[in-house]
């Protein structure tokens, strides 16, 4: 086996990571190491500051996420806590809030649509 070249690996420690602020969502950020896919697809880390809310959206494909820390509350009142693993089917529509803040590992199969039915990137 050959050594993995410098441009073929990215490593970031979450305690030191700089999250990209999402323009459409105050108090939220994304950390996505794979630059070969559209932002918000594939695997990424999503962080919400205390009191932040995600924008309403519809999933094009399935979404799976794991709550690393904190609590997330969906618009229908469902609460997800530290340690919860969640699967949402394609076509699911929701938005979420986090009263105390949270950090989430996300896998989004195909991204999502905004309320105006535009693909969010």
58 half-sphere exposure, CB direction, 13 A CA radius: 9
Pair of tokens at residue 28 = 């939220």
Predicted structure pTM score: 0.88
Domain regions of the chain by residue span? 18-113
pLDDT, position 111: 79
Q: Which top CATH class is 18-113?
A: mainly beta
pLDDT the model gives residue 121: 47
Per-residue pLDDT, averaged over 15-20, amounts to 94
Half-sphere exposure of 86 (CA within 13 A, CB side): 22
User: In sequence order, what are the residues at sequence separation of 6 or more whose Cβ sits closer than 8 angstroms to the Cβ of residue 46?
Assistant: 28, 29, 30, 31, 65, 103, 104, 106
In this structure, the strands spanning 42-48 and 79-81 are unpaired
């Amino acid at each position: 086996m050959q050594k993995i070249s410098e441009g073929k690996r990215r490593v970031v420690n979450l305690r030191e990571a700089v999250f990209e602020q999402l323009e459409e969502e105050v108090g939220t950020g994304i950390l996505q190491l794979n630059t070969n896919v559209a932002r918000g697809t594939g695997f990424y880390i999503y962080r919400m500051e205390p009191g932040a809310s995600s924008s309403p959206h519809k999933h094009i494909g399935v979404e799976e996420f794991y709550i690393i820390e904190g609590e997330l509350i969906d618009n229908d009142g469902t609460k997800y806590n530290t340690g919860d693993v969640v699967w949402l089917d394609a076509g699911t529509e929701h938005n979420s809030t986090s009263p105390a803040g949270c950090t989430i590992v996300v896998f989004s199969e195909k991204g999502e649509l905004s309320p105006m039915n535009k693909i969010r990137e």
